[in-house]
A and B are shown apart, each in its own frame.
Chain A
Amino acid sequence: MKRYLPYLLFIAALAITPFLDRFVQSLVYNFAIAAMAALAVNIMIGFAGQITFAAGALIGVGAYAGGLLGNAGLDVVSLLGAGLVTAAISVFIGLPALRLRGLYFAMSTLAAQFILEYLFKNVDPVTNGLSGLLIEPPKFFGIAIDTEFRTAIAALILLLLVWLACRNLTQSQLGRAFLVMRESEIVAKGMGINVPQTKFWCFALTGFLMGIAGAMLGFSTHIANPEAFGISLSVDYVAMMIIGGLGSLTGSLIGAAFITLMPEIIQRIGEHLHLGSRIFAVREIIFGALIMLFLIFEPRGIVALFSSLKGNNQTPGASTAK
């Protein structure tokens, strides 16, 4: 029964969406997009152990690429194209850093994040610079995705596909190689794992998924604006995984749900309490405090809380000792 839980939830989500108002529907697709990105980032950081700060910029690449291809009328191929372009850039960022590890690799991704941001803002012929790239509602298999409802359904379906792909990846040989590499590159090498090649696949695959998430983001907001893909987005994704559960796919979903819904809940409660100008401050405080609390007391995230409540430890590869 537990194995089918995600799929049942997916069907439930599809069923309830038509009855929600536009704003809540936008929460649904925002969740789905965040979840896809969180899955990708989790595989990179949680499973393969490569800390990255470039998630925000890579999502941006996906949004621009998807938008340009979608505006050119490429239908669903625009998603694939966005994925491939982002995969290429992800590899481009990651590969020269093959020799770098841990902190230094993280620094190089930080640099990549800022450099890409700069390019978004200034390479006007491609990105339309600061005005942002206007993205028309895309067509998927001929159906125009121009209402919140359709966007939500499309995003949910994509999320399911991405989820299945990630499940298969983590259970494959490559996925296991990621885990070993995370623990120790030397041990991996000793076991005959080709570390550079494994890293390549890690960057490429996670980049591809981030590209798809980014493209959907562009399609849903109808604009790719350079200021939306900054370092705070990257930090958001890292936080998502810490709260949800590093190294756990379900954890990514939980983290994404959290990050999408928590600001809204706090916003409504804040309005109710007439906090006015301080609502955002409260949000930040709660956000920061949660990150600290989870890391100190339950680094395996919410996922681990549920497991320990049930008394079993089903989180794959979530060991934290290093």
Chain B
Amino acid sequence: MKRLSLAPIALALGLSFSAQAEPTITICEWGTITGADALVNGMAYGARDYFEYLNQTKGGIAGVKINALLLDGRYKLDEELKIYRRCVSQENAVVIGGWSTGAAKALRADTTKDQVPFMTQSYSSDLLDPEKLPYMFMAGPTYEQQIILGLNDAKKRGARRVVLMHADNEYGRAPVKVIREEKAVEKLGMELVDVIEFKYDAQDLTAQLIRVKESKPDVVYIQSSTNQTIVILRDAAKIGLKPDLFVGNFYNINPAIPEQLKESAEGFRAVQLYTNWGVDIPAMRQINEFSKKNKIEKQDIYYMKGWLEGMVIAAAIENAVKANGGKVPEDISAFRKATRDQLAALKNFDTGGISPKLNYADHRGFSQARMAIIKGGKYIGATDWLKLADDQ
């Protein structure tokens, strides 16, 4: 039976040998291309597309084309961990882009031990520790900050009774647990009436919403992804709960929501972290230029996030190359270390209007957000951009 396995091993070996021939810049990222939260995978495409954009307009970085790999993690932990191992060893990636909260947490020790800069799509506060986790980075305020922003905004509109709904995965549970244990709701002067957990791929949540209705909340915050928000709002409409009762986190700004639900989505609010797709900013002009010759898979705010991450990573690599005399470092671990240092050193970094200027010393870049609301089938800004308290 070993005969069967020699062919792929040879294939794999062959691949790994060729990778060491001349200095390359490989950036390896994974996302949920197929899976439970595929509706938000614009960010995975955005980052990869930015690297392609650099290749097409500037010939890469310092004349070396970027080898940007986008793999399918399928939102399955074992798949994501397998991809990490491939990225860090076979592909010799200088920067790795992760996806899920669960995978990033599981890889806390590995990324530090392997000394490879890791940009996660998660906003979990457990991953934010510049001292203990020097190689872990994210791109925006934590989930906890988002929850507090959402609830604060509701409070300003007169809400007092709060219900939190979350998915039964690490992404759903952890931030809600933190909020609960730190009594964040009470500190805001509101009352946490109930916390409801539901299956992360549930297709019917009517009974849960009946339970919500019984508790007579003034605001319901959803810590889950777009797919489940659609189910929640739809089932809420069934029993007469209005969409303006609900607030979602950043992963709920998705054209699919008003498209599918039409009037059952009017008044739904979500936390917005970046400038939306289509707004006339320098980054959008770059994207439009790119779209002339390339297909853009997802035209939404998540793509903007991805583009931002691409910018940030590329800038760090560029600075690392500059610091090495304009040549791509031969030794991959030195390259990774240098990139990590440059990433953490980014100050007042311009993202072409997608976000305020970034300072990466805190490993998250910025702490600003605003509330968006669905009106007339589209997301529009509901408040000003606010600086969030450095909670975690």
- Using a CB–CB cutoff of 8 Å, the interface residues on chain A facing chain B are 9, 12-13, 20-24, 26-27, 31, 121, 129-132, 134, 148, 221-223, 225, 227-228, 250, 253-254, 257-258, 261, 264-265, 268, 276-277, 279-281
Contact = CB atoms under 8 A, between A and B. Distances in A.
Interface stretch (B83-91, B262-270, B311-319, B323-331): B83-91
Given A23-B89, A27-B9, A276-B33, 5 more contacts: A24-B90, A130-B170, A221-B81, A227-B77, A228-B76
Contacts of B89: 21-23
Interface string B3-18: 0110111011101100
B9 A20 contact: yes
A26 B85 CA distance: 8
A11 to B, nearest CB: 11
Given A265-B11, A268-B8, A131 B170 contact: yes
B387 to A, nearest CB: 30
Given A21-B90, A221-B81, A253-B1, A134 B34 contact: no
Interface of B: 1-2, 4-5, 7-9, 11-13, 15-16, 33-34, 70, 72, 74, 76-78, 81-82, 85-86, 88-90, 102, 105-106, 109-110, 168-170, 172-174
Contacts of A134: 106
Given A225-B77, A268-B8, A13 B170 contact: no
Contact of B5 (A129, A222, A227, A261): A261
Contacts of B70: 276
Given A277-B72, A280-B34, A280-B74, A132 B5 contact: no
Contacts of A221: 78, 81, 106
A24 to B, nearest CB: 5
Contact of A264 (B1, B12, B34, B76): B12
Contacts of A228: 76-78
Given A24-B12, A134-B106, A261-B8, A223 B173 contact: no
Given A277-B33, A280-B34, A281-B34, A223 B168 contact: no
B333 to A, nearest CB: 14
Which of A130, A221, A268 has most chain B Cβ within 10 Å? A130
A222 B109 contact: yes
B267 to A, nearest CB: 31
A118 B7 CA distance: 40
Contacts of A280: 33-34, 72, 74
Nearest to A267: B71
A31 B90 CA distance: 18
8 contacts: A13-B2, A22-B88, A131-B170, A131-B173, A225-B106, A227-B76, A227-B77, A280-B33
